[in-house]
Amino acid sequence: MDKELILKHIDKIFEGFIKKDFDLLKKTHKPRWTGFLASSREIIKNREEYLKFLKEKLEKIDYERYKILEINFHFNGDSCVVPYIAILSGKIKGGKNVEFKLRIVDFFVKENGEWNLAGSCVNLHPDELDKKFQKNIRLILNE
**For the domain that residue 39 is a member of, what is the CATH number?**
3.10.450.50
Structural domain count, the chain: 1
Low-confidence ranges of the chain (pLDDT < 50): none
Residue type (1 letter), 61: I
Q: Which domain holds residue 136?
A: 2-140
- CA atoms lying within 13 Å on the CB side of residue 60: 5
pLDDT at 94: 83
pLDDT at position 102: 96
pLDDT value of position 95: 87
Instruction: Supply the pLDDT for residue 89.
Output: 96
pLDDT the model gives residue 45: 97
The whole-number pLDDT of residue 29 equals: 97
pLDDT at residue 143 in the model: 56
Spatial CB neighbours of 4, under 8 Å, sequence gap ≥ 6: none
Give the per-residue pLDDT at 3.
Answer: 97
